[in-house]
Amino acid sequence: MNRRHSTVRRLLGSTIAVALISIMWAAPCAAQVTPAAASTPPDDTPKISVGATIFADYTVQQQPKFTDPITSEQVTLNQFQVGRSYINVTGNISHSIAFRITPDITREAAIGSNVSGSYVFRLKYAYLQWNFDDFMTHGSWARFGQQQTPWVDFMEGVYRYRFQGQVFEEREGFLSSSDVGASFHYNLPSNYGDLHAGVYNGETFTQPEVNEQKGWMIRGTARPLPMSENLRGLRLTGFYDHDMFASHDARTRSIFGVTFEHKYANAAFDYLWATNQPNPASSTTDVRGWSAWITPRTAIGWEGLVRFDHLEPDEAVSGRKRDRTIAGVAYWFPHQGNVSTALLFDVDNTKSDNFSPVQPTRRLIAVHALLNF
């Protein structure tokens, strides 16, 4: 009996030892063959969102005086205005296909129109966008439809004061913020800059195409020091727009710009060269101009705006120039996400020399309001 129990104990001990050795050997092996966690597939759920942008202001035209159409007296014109009201409809059909539709409700200014002076509905943006994040750098895409143009869209992203007035090149009528066409955008690796190029009708978003000519636009931006804590906001930008009024009638624009973004100030300087020949019978007009501005800011929402624009609309006419000075102070309300709300008090003074007919000095004093979400 004792011999039998001894044999059983030996067999049981051997079995337990083998089991322990098997468990100890299997554990690291199991850890080695555990499959990696599966990658998260892209979200292809269709999405749509609606936002709005409102520019409103109260403006006093201090100079020149305005002739009252009823009394014929010289008065100081002052008025409440809604300069822009956008309805922004954006969305994704999938992670690679997006769209935007933005109607613009603005005042009709056409003389003789049966809606003259009324607020009318027009289209500002309407485009499809193919995102190339799957096989290019993040933020690379192609667009087709009525969309932003390369220079104005870039500069306004730094300037942020379109609700006061347009950037220099658009305000003087050389470029538009929107046009119909096709474009491609590519972000350079490691945040060294980007490239935006496209072909557009060239007639701006307010007019249909009038001939076979197209505007070929390209903007290249370099960020020399993306890793520097203090200088990563520095960017150098070149832009070129090749277009024709008609065959052989040049309409070209070249711009070089330097921009700087910092938590305590944004600033920029850009220089414009432009050539215009509206028809074969007219001579070519060479235009030069530049704009410089800075927006110093505090950590509690207060921000300044100082801007100076200089334009020489025809180099062949000595002394013909237009200078614009803008100075103001703004308060940007605390916000979350992409919501922006601001109030700006500013003085906008424009002086034109040697123009025919004579253009008087124009001084506007205004309070501007922005709401964007």
pLDDT of residue 7: 43
Separation between Cα atoms, residue 113 and residue 107, nearest integer Å: 12
pLDDT of residue 213: 87
Q: What is the mean pLDDT of the chain?
A: 88
- Report whether 156 contacts 178 (CB < 8 A): no
Separation between Cα atoms, residue 291 and residue 270, nearest integer Å: 6
> Considering the domain boundaries, does residue 360 fall inside one?
yes
The band of 16, judged by pLDDT with boundaries at 50, 70 and 90, is very low
> Considering the domain boundaries, does residue 54 fall inside one?
no
Both tokens assigned to 158 = 């730094």
pLDDT of residue 39: 64
* Mean pLDDT across 239-255: 91
> Considering the domain boundaries, does residue 34 fall inside one?
no
Give the DSSP H or E segment for 272.
strand 265-276
The band of 232, judged by pLDDT with boundaries at 50, 70 and 90, is very high
Separation between Cα atoms, residue 321 and residue 57, nearest integer Å: 28
**For residue 354, what is the domain's CATH number?**
2.40.160.10
- Is 280 or 17 the better-scoring residue by pLDDT? 280
Instruction: For residue 176, give the amino acid letter.
Output: S
pLDDT of residue 105: 84
The tens digit of pLDDT for each residue in 323-365 reads 999 999 999 999 877 889 999 999 999 999 999 889 999 999 9
> Considering the domain boundaries, does residue 154 fall inside one?
yes
φ/ψ region of 78 (left if φ > 0, alpha if ψ in -120 to 50, else beta) reads beta
> Considering the domain boundaries, does residue 39 fall inside one?
no
Separation between Cα atoms, residue 7 and residue 11, nearest integer Å: 6
* Mean pLDDT across 139-167: 97
Q: Which segment of 11-15, 98-102, 302-306, 307-311 scores lowest on mean pLDDT? A: 11-15
> Considering the domain boundaries, does residue 91 fall inside one?
yes
Number of separate domains in the chain: 1
* Helix (H/G/I), strand (E/B), else coil: 5: helix
- Report whether 126 contacts 174 (CB < 8 A): no
Find the domain containing 287 and state its range.
64-372
The tens digit of pLDDT for each residue in 39-86 reads 677 888 999 999 999 999 999 999 999 998 898 899 999 999 998 899
The tens digit of pLDDT for each residue in 181-199 reads 999 999 999 999 999 999 9
325 half-sphere exposure, CB direction, 13 A CA radius: 6
> Considering the domain boundaries, does residue 231 fall inside one?
yes
pLDDT of residue 218: 98
The band of 13, judged by pLDDT with boundaries at 50, 70 and 90, is very low
Strand partners, 16: none
Maximal CA-CA distance, the chain: 134
Please give the model's pTM, rounded to 2 decimal places. 0.84
* Mean pLDDT across 131-151: 96
Work out the number of other CB atoms within 10 angstroms of the CB of residue 298.
11
The band of 210, judged by pLDDT with boundaries at 50, 70 and 90, is confident
DSSP letter at 190?
Answer: G
- Is 44 or 13 the better-scoring residue by pLDDT? 44
Whether residue 27 is predicted with pLDDT greater than 80 in this model: the reply is no
> Considering the domain boundaries, does residue 204 fall inside one?
yes
